[in-house]
A = this chain, B = another copy of it.
Amino acid sequence: MTKKISDKKFDVIGIGNAIVDVLSFADEAAIVSYGLNKGSMTLVDEARATTLYKQMGPTTACSGGSVANTLAGMASLGAKTAFIGKVKNDQLGAIFNHDMHAVGVHFETTMMERGPATANCLVYVTPDAQRTMATYIGACSRVSEADIEEHTIQNAAITYIEGYLWDTETAKAAIRKAITIAHKAGNKIAFTLSDTFCVDRHRDEFLELIKHDIDILFANEMEIKSLYQTKDLKIALSKARGATDIVAVTRSEKGSTVLTSEKTEDVPTNPVAKVVDTTGAGDLYASGFLYGLTRGWDLAACAQLGNRCAGEIITQIGARSLKPLHVLVHNAA
């Protein structure tokens, strides 16, 4: 199980929102009073972000962004990764930039000198350790075709994209360009549905993408049900099976389910002693899964490492592990 599927320069290149998360604990009543959807991400403009931030409790800030979290996790596991995403040359941009390089992610997208500030995501962690998010997309919205480095896409075994990017037209164009380059080079495309509301906003386009362009799909139970507009997980999973080569559905404490046209495999996970903050659980699952995949592991082993990475990040605040993750690799596969 040590055969790699690729000897490319990069195992994975990701394209995603470049965001600094600002986390605080909050109770459920506060989430309701702010008009946010518990467990989901709401896009907010600068004015609303400012108002929400003023009402927020004491905070801690960590780099975030779904695909960026996955790549940071993969790099910490020992993979070679690259990231494309847009920050401004401001203090939050410097933090985001630092945290990518500190863990060894190749990240050379030109910083903006003017325009909207580096994106931030207000993350409210409720007593059940669930996270609710309000994102000011800021500089992220400016990622464009010009930022897609053809050479880097060609030299990555997998190109990984987040559904959240579908919210801006320039980013969508950038993604389409990346997909075209990757497919021409014979590389794989991985995609995450990101969020149920994101699926609601872009269901038809996502279904088309999955059918034609995506090789590996990540979703959680809520997202896969939303995609197929059913409340029945079994129906959603049966529709997902064979929708593309590999579909990996995360299922919280139940672990994950991996679907291919040949089979459906439930991969359980170990219970976590104390869940502090579930922010990044899905992102870090993808880290472990993609790490295994680019090393030629079987899918159950990929899912096991994914489960393990998710289990680790939910014991910490934020979606980036402050401690190296490579120790998690040894017991997997």
Contact = CB atoms under 8 A, between A and B. Distances in A.
A91 B22 CA distance: 12
Contact of A322 (B53, B58, B62): B58
A87 B99 CA distance: 24
Interface string A97-115: 0110111000000000000
Interface residues of A, number: 33
Interface string A68-92: 0000100010000000000000111
A263 interface: no
Nearest to A93: B91
Interface in A297-333: 317-318, 320-323
Given A62-B60, A322-B317, A98 B54 contact: yes
Given A90-B91, A91-B92, A117-B91, A322 B98 contact: no
B95 A61 contact: yes
Given A90-B91, A91-B91, A91-B117, A318 B60 contact: yes
Determine how many copies of this chain the complex contains: 2
A139 to B, nearest CB: 12
Interface in A28-60: 53-54, 56-60
A28 to B, nearest CB: 16
A62 B95 CA distance: 12
Nearest to A101: B54
A91 B53 CA distance: 13
Contacts of A250: none
B60 A60 contact: yes
A315 to B, nearest CB: 11
Interface of A: 22-25, 53-54, 56-63, 72, 76, 90-92, 95, 98-99, 101-103, 117-118, 317-318, 320-323
